Copies of this chain bind each other. A is one copy, B any other.
Amino acid sequence: MNTSPDMSIEIAGIPMRNPVMVASGTFGYGVEYADMVDIGSLGAVVVKGICMEPCDGNLPPRMAEVPSGLVNAIGLQGPGVKGFVENYMPFLRQHKTPVIVNIWGRTIEEYANVAAAFDVVEGIAGLELNISCPNVKEGGVSFGTDLRMAAKVISAVRRSTKLPLIPKLSPNVAGIGAFARMAEDEGADAISLINTLPALVIDVETRRPVLRNGVGGLSGAGIHHFAVKQVWDASRVVSIPVIGMGGIYEPDDALRFLLAGASAVAVGTANFTEPRTAMRVIAGMEDYVQRHEYGSIRDVVGMLQYGQVKP
* Chain A positions near chain B (C-beta within 8 angstroms): 66-69, 71, 140, 145-146, 172-175, 197-202, 204, 206-209, 212-215, 218, 221-226, 228-229, 232, 247, 252, 255-256, 259-260, 288, 303-307, 309-311
Interchain CB contact under 8 A, A306 and B225: no
Cα-based distance from A311 to B56 in the complex (angstroms) = 19
Question: Is there contact, CB below 8 Å, between B255 and A204?
Answer: yes
Decide: A207 and B67 in contact? CB cutoff 8 A: no
Task: Known pairs A202-B304, A208-B304, A218-B225; list 16 more (Cβ under 8 Å).
Answer: A66-B224, A67-B68, A67-B221, A67-B222, A68-B69, A140-B310, A200-B225, A200-B260, A201-B225, A204-B255, A204-B288, A212-B307, A212-B309, A214-B307, A218-B226, A222-B222
Q: How many angstroms between the C-alpha atoms of A200 and B223 in the bound complex?
A: 11
B contact residues around A221 at 8 Å (CB): 67-68, 222
Copies per complex? Answer: 2
Chain A to chain B contacts (Cβ below 8 Å), 30 pairs: A67-B222, A68-B68, A69-B222, A140-B310, A145-B174, A146-B174, A172-B172, A172-B173, A172-B174, A174-B174, A197-B226, A198-B226, A199-B226, A199-B228, A200-B228, A201-B225, A201-B228, A202-B260, A204-B252, A204-B256, A204-B288, A207-B259, A207-B303, A207-B304, A209-B306, A213-B309, A214-B307, A214-B309, A222-B222, A222-B223
Per the bound structure, the CA–CA distance linking A192 and B266 in Å amounts to 35
Q: Which residue of A201, A223, A228 has the most chain B CB atoms within 10 A of its CB atom?
A: A223
Shortest CB-to-CB span from A58 to chain B, Å, is: 9
A17 CB to closest chain B CB (Å) equals 22
Question: In the complex, are the beta carbons of B174 and A209 less than 8 A apart?
Answer: no
In the bound complex, what is the Cα–Cα distance between A175 and B222 (angstroms)? 22
Chain B: CB-nearest residue to A140: B310
Contact, CB under 8 Å: B307 / A224: no
Nearest CB to that of A231 among chain B residues? Answer: B200
Q: Which residues of B contact A223 (CB under 8 A)?
A: 222
A67 cross-chain contacts in B, Cβ below 8 A: 68, 221-222, 224, 247
| Chain B residues within 8 Å of A304, by CB | 202, 207-209
Complex Cα distance A68/B201, Å? 16
> Smallest CB-CB separation from A204: which chain B residue?
B255
CB distance from A239 to the nearest CB of B (A): 21
A309 to B73, CA, bound (A): 12
Closest Cβ neighbor of A59 among chain B residues = B309
- When distances are taken between beta carbons in the complex, the residues of chain B under 8 Å from A306 are 208-209, 214
Across-interface contacts of A198 in B (CB, < 8 A): 226, 229
Q: Is the CB of A232 within 8 A of B174?
A: no
CA distance A224 to B269 in the complex (A): 18
Q: What's the Cα separation between A145 and B175 when bound, in Å?
A: 8
Q: Which residues of B contact A66 (CB under 8 A)?
A: 224-225
Which residues of B are found within 8 Å of A229, using beta-carbon distances?
Answer: 198-200, 215
